[in-house]
Amino acid sequence: MKSSTISVNNKDLPIDQESTSLLDFLIKKKVDINHSCGGFGTCGTCRVFVKNYEILESRESIEQEMADDRGFLPSERLACQNHVIAGLVIEIPS
């Protein structure tokens, strides 16, 4: 069912277990994503493109600071700084 999945690189992955963050979800799903700082919002390597970013909560200060520094588009988000939300459509930059 679409509402209980997240689309990652055009593949629907079921949300079938608890995850502390979108990064945690992707790691549990064995998606190839970097996370050099271990999820503390300081490295930027977990950056993903979120097609429907409007459904995410606003950036918290850590993520906002990096977004300002690096000139992120609204769709560029840190997987470690966002929650799992059913229906998200994301792409992992190669």
For ligand FES, the binding residue among 27, 44, 50, 77 (CB under 6 A) is: 44
Rounded least distance, CB 60 to ligand FES, Å: 12
Q: Sign of the C-alpha dihedral, residues 49, 54, 66, 80?
A: negative
Q: Is 46 in the site for ligand FES (CB under 6 A)?
A: yes
Q: Is 33 in the site for ligand FES (CB under 6 A)?
A: no
8 by DSSP, 3-state: which? strand
Say which DSSP state 68 is in.
H
Q: Compare residues 13 and 48 and give the one whose CB is closer to ligand FES.
A: 48
Please give the structure tokens belonging to residue 84.
Answer: 């799992």
Report yes or no: 90 and 6 within 8 Å, Cβ to Cβ: yes
Binding site for ligand FES (CB under 6 A): 23, 35-37, 39, 41-46, 78, 80
